[in-house]
Amino acid sequence: MRRLFFLLSFCVALTACQDDSSDTAAEAPVRGLKTVLIEETEQTTIRRYPSVLQPGSISSLSFEIGGRLQEINLDVGQRVKEGDVIAEIDTRSLELQVETAEAALQESKSLAKNAAEDAKRKEELRKKGIVSDSVADKARTDAETSAARVVQAERNLETANENLGKAKLVAPFDGIINSVEVQSFANVGVGAAIATIYAIDAFESSFSVSFDIVNRLTVGKKVRVRLADNPEIALDGHISELGARADTVSSFPVVVKLDEIDPSIKAGMAVEISIEFTVPSGEGFTLPLSVLPFDGKLEPPKNPSDPGRTQVFVFNPDNSTVSRRDVVVAGVRENAIIIIDGLKLGERVASAGVSFLREGQKVKLLTDAD
């Protein structure tokens, strides 16, 4: 009897569940659908490459003379202006060289004066027959030699003064100290690196691309360089170098130079370089990334220059349903994908909640006001 009671109770409960399910299915609301209307075409796509800002060129600063350094007050990253003193050499020995050269010049001038007077006197005596021609000729030669020594002494003094002026190493342009190679009070030789500096208005970035992409690039092509730490800052640039030889297998180097500068940028910052390419088919349709269902797969192409493939849901106005559609993706532009095959102008593509849609599902088209 007890078993019969349990069996009857189970059947009643099962019947009730079936009735509830039927009622629920019958009363299931039609899902509202937000769509994007395909009404504009796009003729270009954008590829992005991560990179790092680097100085356009780094200059090594050195003295043209040797000597003992004075105290060095330089820091890496320090900004300097053209003409600022970078380092100085102790001038005591240089000043002594100037004084010595000045004394030598005065002495050579006195000797030259005496030699000239002696040559003049002996030339007069030769005319009177008092001295021989050889004596007069020797006196004239000594005068010419003394005059030449004056010229040499003047040049030595000029060189000493120039060396004294070279005791200060100055910045050749407005820039930033990249490295300091010496310590205070060290002895340095001619040409020894003291510091390196790079210009504050010349930055570049380098990255690598495939063989197919490098063949679509040209020197001078415009690009956009966006700071990774502050995406609101986007600067114009251009391709300045294209590698003819791959660094690694099918990886060719590209160098981009900035055409404009922002005060906040520094060497070593991460950037994203955007390059615009023509859409392979000539034109395509721009759709937001939200049209892609979570279960949709973007098949990566075997060739980086070839388009990829995925699926989207397209609204059918005749029966208010949605259906999956295979489409071809040529690339991205900002936060959108560019479809080059599988869609037509005037069609509507589901743009919200697409992961909950299914083939043939009945939907209600929502307007922008909904």
Number of H helices, E strands in the chain: 4, 24
The whole-number average pLDDT for the span 329-351 is: 83
State pTM to two decimals: 0.56
Over residues 7-33, the mean pLDDT reads 51
Query: Tell me, what CATH number does 143's domain have?
Result: 1.10.287
Angle at 163 between CA 161 and CA 164, to 5 degrees: 65
**Domain end among 277, 294, 314:** 277
pLDDT, one tens digit per residue, over 167-191 is: 999 999 999 999 999 999 999 999 9
- For residue 64, the 8-state DSSP code is S
In-domain check, residue 265: yes
Indicate whether 2 pLDDT > 90: no
Is residue 13 included in any domain, yes or no?
A: no
Number of domains within the chain? 4
Distance CA 186, CA 69 (A): 5
In this structure, are 78 and 181 located in the same domain? Answer: yes
8 Å CB contact between 59 and 264: no
The alpha-carbon radius of gyration of the chain (Å, integer) is: 42
Check whether residue 115 and residue 103 sit in a common domain: yes
* DSSP-derived secondary structure for 329-340: EEEEETTEEEEE
How confident is the model over 262-321, as pLDDT tens digits?
888 888 899 999 998 877 666 788 888 888 876 545 555 555 455 678 889 999 999 999
Query: Structural domain of residue 75, as residue ranges?
Result: 65-89+168-199
- Length of the chain counted residue by residue: 370
* 3-class secondary structure, 115: helix
3-state secondary structure of 41: strand
Q: Are residues 315 and 273 part of one domain?
A: no
Select from 277, 303, 335 the last residue of a domain.
277
> Is 3 domain-assigned?
no
Give yes or no: residues 144 and 85 share one domain: no
**Domain end call among 214, 247, 277:** 277
Interval 128-144: pLDDT, tens: 888 888 888 898 999 99
The Cα 367–Cα 334 span in angstroms is 25
Beta-strand pair 175-180/193-199: antiparallel
Q: Which of 307, 295, 207 is nearest to 253 (CA)?
A: 207
